[in-house]
Structure 1
Amino acid sequence: MKLDRVAVIGGGPGGLYAARLLKLSNPHADIAVYEQSSPDTTFGFGVGLASRTQRNLRQADAASLDAIVARAYSHEMSMQVGESIARLAHGDLLAIARTSLLSVLQEQARDAGVRLEFGERREPADLDVDLVIASDGINSATRTADGRFGADIATGSGLYLWCGTDFALPSAIFVPVTTEHGTFVAHAYPYAPDRSTFLIETDVDTWTRAGFDATTAATDPTDTDEASLRYLEKAFADTLHNHGLIGNRTRWMKFRTVQCRNWSLGNVVLLGDAAHTAHYSIGSGTKLAMEDAIALDAALAAAETVGDALAEYERVRRPAVEHLQQIAVRSEQWWESFPQRMDLPVEQLMVAYMTRAGKVGLERFLESAPDVAWKGIASYGQVAADSEAPIDASRWILARPLEHGDRSFCDRFAPPALREDPSTTVVSVDVESAWNEKATAVVDEARASSTIWLTGSDERDHVLTRLDVAERMMCSTSALVVVEIPTECVPDAVAGLVSARTHLVFVGS
């Protein structure tokens, strides 16, 4: 399909990238990006680019990815609890300053022939064009102005803030710190030779005890909560090597997951955070927006009309986004409940982190990081970390004996007779989340039981939720916990065992 005029509302990475791709596909079209801020105005610090994202960007437009990589900073990943550190050698992890990313994408868009108009806001109704791409962010005025997009916004329970520091960490790091008020967890990574991003999370109770409810209320949306930064730089002084924290409109927030019933109306299409968000622990909004742009460009190139293209774009792209959102919600809830896992050995905690959302299986993690993964598995199996790893790790994990109170089991398969034992409470788990009020009631009702047997739907998402509920029960009761699973979910059960999400499993049909 030939496009003559395209307008992009919002000059973030997704909008700029979409404009460039469409200009390359439609060299004679007039394509303009309208950004209400100045070219160098941005909020935030670094943007991470995982290897899969890099591959997708290279296939779509190698030149722009090369320009991004030239300004990016490579790093590895680690997790620290107390003095113990687990390191992953991921040489393909990149991060780039958001200001640098915007500068690169602005240059790439201009080089392709895109017009960039700064300092003004445009409304879709005022634009006489073939296509309007609304990439105007999580607070999208385009989406908000028309209820037909059917936006649904869910707010998480934990709190987080973005800040930075003026040195490059030796690697990306996940590190918890417990203060007199509670536990804070930092996700931090270097993105330049003299800069690192620090994202810090906590729960509502800790946030309130530390007085951050008051500092948040006293901080204007355009300002930084300096009181919180001063507190946190002391709490994370070891990780920061006594450097300070830097703010940029930094204040505590709750993550909002945006979903829309419709991604397009007429010739207006939402892109990136305007259409959907996924928790930052599983993938950045920048990644999603740029991959949206790739899918939109492909749909427009193949269709005969704009309407057909937008329908095809949503048909193709929505399943991938919704799948990622589902995984992201599980990851978000894992991080919100992180403090309950801090008694795990750090390598075992790294296994729990990697398999937390069901996106990465234990076997895949074992292949990519055998040393760290095996140490975590060895901690679970209570054998020496330097012992020889088995050829079939899953079989070995399931064969580990268990001593629980005065009971002994020769392996991790629950005997069928245990279900019928009078001391066993059988619970059919039917909750959307392991952390909502309904799940809390399930946990509370089973608290007095000596054995809890969790059953329910055989759908994988339900099995993963069942394992999460089991983990809550293991952390809050002394009961023996069994999770019933279908045969096809054995890999999830194996990861759950190593991650201390259940004691035993029962494999059904």
Structure 2
Amino acid sequence: MTPDRVAVLGGGPGGLYAARLLKLSRPDCEVVVHEQGVPDETFGFGVGLAARTQRRLAEADPASLDDILAASWSHDMRMRVGGREAGMSVSSLVAVGRAELLRVLQRHAEAAGVKLEFGVRRTADELDADLVVAADGVGSATRSAGDFGADVETGSGWYLWAGVDVALPHALFAPERTGHGVFVTHAYPYAADRSTFLVETDEATWRSAGFAETTAATPADASDEDALRYLSGVFADHLDGHHLIGNRTRWLRFRTVRCARWHAGRVVLLGDAAHTAHYSVGSGTKLAMEDAIALVSALQETNDLESALTAYEAARRPAVTRLQDIAERSRRWWETFPERLDLPVEQLLVAYMSRAGNVPLERFAAGTPEVVTSALRQWAGEGPPAGGSLVEWAFARALRPSSPGQEPDLDVLDEPLGTRGFDSRVVPDDPAALGATVLDVGTDARPSGVEHAVEDAVRRGAGVTGAVWLTGGDDRSSVLTRLEVAERLRRRTPALVVVAGPRDLRDDFADGLVADRTHLVALR
């Protein structure tokens, strides 16, 4: 059945973009967007759009992208720790104000013939439409009321979205120590007089600073003014006299949404209603707009609604699952961020870029050679020679009892290993030779692993005082999970940590060594 009437629940970027593309592809179709809010009263600050997303939007609808880019702001990136700073060029990344993005998409939707209805809450059941596109966000009432097999996992860290009334010179990652603990910002400019200023922290710091009380006292439609004042002071060195501003700004914990099914009958989920991915790897806006492209493409290719919705999900689920798995590792990395503040800023930037297994060392070095060279010198005490494989160079570095910042308690090992160290970061696949305690880090159905499984593996290894040998499956996801467990053990215990795995994942093992996730590796 070809849908003659389409209702879109939710007037965010995904819903508006889907409505415009549907109307452009089917001019005779009635398309109505139902948004419970009113125009120009949106929440949020800037939205980032990476180069790959821009290319996809250009292919789908160049006219709306041109207007989005005309209102956007490009920037590069800096990581600042204490008095030191390291940066990288990401000029292809742009940001645009969420309110401006919505204005552009509303204008283009109406130009295509879409009807926009504001200020009324609608449900799928009450809408007289052949197809209902539920783009009603992470708290989707449509998802909650339907049979979509939803699984919502809540992270352990706390974050808030704030802004500042100045364009920062760069996107900025910066931790700040306080008497309560560490707060870290991800900030970026999105207009000539505005920047997003996201702040996150761990549970203990959040409670120590009194934010459990301020969060409970802040109404849902208000901002936590106590938090904004406090954090303006914490990050004063980065704000150049400005203060953080709010827009329904309150502390939250990230919710990762996964659904077994994205459609049921005539209702299909889109964007955050169907899936979320942690903001540290990309925005929900990107995923929602790319969902819209795939949905309209599937509807164009068949006149059978069920087949089209099945094809939409089949086309999008692999990319979404991959991004969610990368995002899950990234979320856990950020939620343990304060443990890495002993690293020099260049090495910390390398650790950040390789945190989820998405940017290998060699590729990062090709675009940012100065940072990587400095990081390798900090890690090994010497820089790599010009040319040649950085992976092989990293494997060939020695681990000595005096290696700066990397001191496992080698004294607990049998002589002579404890006194002479290791001439290479690669050891034979023989845990008995080190008298190591073998810890099998099991795999599970989710490629990125599950939080409680990672923590369970860390607890099992926490009592080891000699060498701990992490083994498990030979697939890449299992190896990345072992490296994540290894990092927590390497930073929380005096044990010598060894991660074993297949030789064909050499790049991942080299990343793990240089980022100080493990002391040694065993290739099999």
TM bucket (normalised to shorter chain) is: over 0.9
How far is 1:322 from its partner?
1.2
Q: 1:353 to 1:344 in 2, by over 3 A?
A: same
Per-residue displacement from partner, 1:152-196 (whole Å, max 9, x unpaired)? 111000000010011111000100000000000100000111111
Q: 2:436 is matched with which residue?
A: 424
**CA distance in 2: counterparts of 1:85 and 1:442, whole angstroms:** 32
Offset, 1:380: 1.8
2:47, 2:95 within 8 Å by CA — same for their partners in 1? Answer: yes
For residue 365 of structure 1, give the secondary structure of its aligned residue in structure 2. Answer: helix
Q: CA RMSD in A?
A: 1.6
Taking structure 1 as reference, are residues 326 and 199 closer, same or farther at Cα in structure 2, changes over 3 Å only? same
Shift of 1:435: 5.3
Q: How far apart are the structure 2 equivalents of 1:40 and 1:131?
A: 27
CA distance in 2, matches of 1:98, 1:90: 20
Matched to 1:430, the amino acid is G
- CA change 1:456–1:322 in 2 (3 A) is same
Check conservation: 1:182, 1:206, Cα contact below 8 A.
yes
- Describe the shift of the 1:413–1:434 C-alpha distance in structure 2 as closer, same or farther (beyond 3 A): farther
Structure-to-structure mapping, 1:239-254, within 5 angstroms: 239-254=238-253
1:397 equivalent among 394, 397, 416: 394
How do 1:184-199 and structure 2 match up within 5 A?
A: 184-199=183-198
Partner of 2:416: none
Note the C-alpha offset of 1:444. Answer: 5.2
Which stretch of the first structure deviates more once superposed, 397-406 or 108-117?
A: 397-406
Q: Note the 1:140-219 alignment, pairs <5 A.
A: 140-146=140-146, 148-219=147-218
For 2:315, the aligned partner's letter is V
Give 1:499's aligned residue: 515
1:291 is aligned to 290
SS of the residue aligned with 1:297?
Answer: helix
Question: What secondary structure is seen at the aligned counterpart in 1 of 2:125?
Answer: helix
1:182-331 equivalent positions in 2, closer than 5 A: 182-331=181-330
How many Å separate the matches in 1 of 2:505 and 2:461? 27
Q: Which residue of 2 aligns with 1:89?
A: 89
Match of 1:412 in 2: 425
Structure-1 separation of matches of 2:434 and 2:87: 46
Q: Which moved more, 1:6-15 or 1:358-367?
A: 358-367
1:483 corresponds to 2:499:
yes
CA shift for structure 1 position 428: 1.0
Aligned residue for 1:366, secondary structure, equals helix
Q: CA deviation at 1:373?
A: 2.2
Tell me, yes or no, if the aligned pair for 1:78 and 1:172 is still in contact at 8 Å.
yes
> How many Å separate the matches in 2 of 1:135 and 1:79?
34
Does the 8 Å contact 1:17/1:109 carry over to 2? yes
For residue 91 of structure 2, give the secondary structure of its aligned residue in structure 1: strand
- Equivalent residues of 2:439, 2:461 under 8 A apart: no
1:445 positional shift: 4.3
Contact preservation (8 Å) 2:437, 2:464: no
* Contiguous gaps of at least 5 residues in structure 1: none
Distance 1:459 1:125 in 2: 44
Q: Distance in 1 between matches of 2:365 and 2:454?
A: 35
Does 299-308 or 170-179 show the bigger shift? 299-308
Aligned to 1:28: 28
User: Which secondary structure state, in structure 2, belongs to the residue aligned with residue 289 of structure 1?
Assistant: helix
Cα distance in 1 for partners of 2:14, 2:451 equals: 33
Using the TM superposition, name which of 18-27 and 126-135 deviates more: 126-135
2:485 corresponding residue in structure 1: 469
- 2:42 aligned residue: 42
Q: How far apart, in 2, do the equivalents of 1:399 and 1:230 lie?
A: 50
- Say yes or no: does 1:126 pair with 2:123: no
The alpha-carbon deviation at position 375 of structure 1 amounts to 2.0
Q: Matches of 2:377 and 2:185 in 1, distance apart?
A: 27
2:160 is paired with a residue whose SS is strand
What displacement does 1:464 show?
A: 0.5
Q: How far apart are 1:306 and its partner, in Å?
A: 1.0
What is the CA–CA distance in structure 2 between the aligned matches of 1:331 and 1:391, rounded to whole Å? Answer: 30
Specify the code of the residue in structure 2 equivalent to 1:397: A
Cα contact 2:440–2:470 (8 A) shared by 1: yes
- Paired letter, 2:425: R
Q: Is the aligned partner of 1:456 residue 2:472?
A: yes
Cα drift, residue 130 of structure 1: 2.1
CA distance in 2, matches of 1:345, 1:422: 30
TM-fit CA distance, 1:367: 1.9
Give the TM-score normalised by structure 1: 0.96
Alignment of 1:316-355 (within 5 A): 316-355=315-354
Give the direction of change, closer, same or farther, for the CA distance of 1:438–1:197 in structure 2 (3 Å limit): closer
Shift in alpha-carbon separation, 1:398–1:298, aligned structure 2, 3 A: same
Deviation at 1:242, TM superposition (A): 2.3
> How far is the alpha carbon of 1:274 from its aligned partner?
0.7
Tell me whether 216-225 or 166-175 shows the greater mean CA deviation. 216-225
Cα distance, 1:129 vs structure 2: 2.0
CA apart distance, 1:441: 5.8
Contact kept, 8 Å, 1:3 with 1:26, in 2: the verdict is no
How far apart in 2 are the matches of 1:287 and 1:442? Answer: 34
* Residue 381 (structure 1) aligned with residue 407 (structure 2): no
Give me the whole-angstrom Cα distance separating, in 2, the residues matched to 1:207 and 1:482.
34
Matched with 2:415 is none
Residue 60 (structure 1) aligned with residue 60 (structure 2)? yes
Counterpart AA for 1:177: E
Pair 1:112-2:112 in alignment: yes
Select between 158-167 and 388-397 the one with higher mean Cα deviation. 388-397
Aligned equivalents of 1:437, 1:429: Cα separation in 2:
9
8 Å Cα contact 2:461-2:489 kept in structure 1: no
Give 2:370's aligned amino acid: D
Q: Could you tell me whether the CA contact under 8 Å between 1:434 and 1:466 is conserved in 2?
A: no
* 1:135 corresponding residue in structure 2: 135
* Counterpart Cα distance in 2 of 1:167 and 1:442: 43
Query: Cα 1:413–1:377, aligned 2, differ >3 Å: closer, same or farther?
Result: same
| 1:431–1:438 CA contact under 8 A, matched in 2 | no
Deviation at 1:124, TM superposition (A): 1.8
Q: CA deviation at 1:361?
A: 1.6
Residue 125 of structure 1 deviates from its aligned partner by 2.1
Checking the alignment, whether the CA contact within 8 Å between 1:81 and 1:346 is kept in structure 2 is: yes
Counterparts of 1:488 and 1:294, CA distance in 2: 36
CA drift at 1:77: 0.7
- Which stretches in structure 2 are left out of the alignment for 5+ residues? 402-409, 411-418
Q: Distance between the aligned counterparts of 2:505 and 2:194, measured in 1?
A: 42
